[in-house]
Amino acid sequence: MTLEALIFDVDGTLAETEEAHRAAFNHVFADWGLDWHWSQPRYRELLKTTGGKERIRAWQQTLPEAARHLSDDEIARMHREKTAIYTGILAEGGLALRPGVAKLIASARAEGLRLAVATTTNMPNVEALTRCCWNAEPHEVFDVIAAGDEVAAKKPAPDVFELALKRLGLPPAACIAFEDSLNGLISARGAGLAVVVTPSIFTDDQDFSGAELVTACLEGLTLGDLERLSASERA
């Protein structure tokens, strides 16, 4: 079976977005009058929990009982406000795709491969990234988008990759996934996909031994390389 589709994670994989997310979280915490602040080392740990609302809940579990704890409704409202701040940051520009991403996606499109997103983040964040980096709407760049708020369980569960495969109408053997995190790798492998990992600045200390390829970036990676990796996984 030949390679027919590429499936991409978003945050940390297409672009180093996590600093913008961290800034947006800290901004909304200040807006809410909370003395919370997520430093880079703390955010590195928090990223082991996938999903922004889930990350806030995980953070609250580390706080003293006397500290203010938000209800689920408050967390959902805070997260919506955080998303608005994040999309505003990206709307100002300045976020670039990681090296090799644009060329690989353009090459895949030119060769007739299908392109998909399988992400824990929500659709507004995907829209913000494609508008910032491609000056285009998500459906103009990707054939299929599967987002974290559309599935029952987020990464490391395989649900979002399985949803992407269902929407592509393709078996795992015809696709290859791109990730930057251990949770993402576990998720993609759980869906039966071969995986290329490009560690981000927040995940470069994680164990990616289950990936077909671990590389600093996608620069220089060709469709021929990916076909060989995919064929090796199918063998």
Q: Which domains can be identified in the chain, with CATH numbers?
A: 5-17+96-234 (3.40.50.1000), 18-91 (1.10.150.240)
Radius of gyration of the chain (CA): 18
Quote the DSSP letter at residue 206.
S
> In Å, what is the CA distance from 50 to each residue of 24, 93, 153, 183?
16, 25, 10, 8
Quick check: 193 pLDDT over 70? yes
- pLDDT of the residue at 234: 61
Cis peptide before 64 (omega within 30 of 0): no
What tokens does 135 get? 């000056």
* Catalytic center residues: 9, 11
Tell me the pTM.
0.92
Model confidence band, residue 94 (pLDDT cutoffs 50, 70, 90): confident
Compute the distance between CA of residue 98 and CA of residue 67 in angstroms, rounded to an integer: 39
> In Å, what is the CA distance from 35 to each residue of 19, 30, 45, 60, 232?
19, 7, 19, 12, 51
Task: Supply angle C-alpha 200, 203, 209, rounded to 5.
Answer: 105
Quick check: 235 pLDDT over 90? no
What does the pLDDT look like over 4-34, one tens digit per residue? 999 999 999 999 999 999 999 999 999 999 9
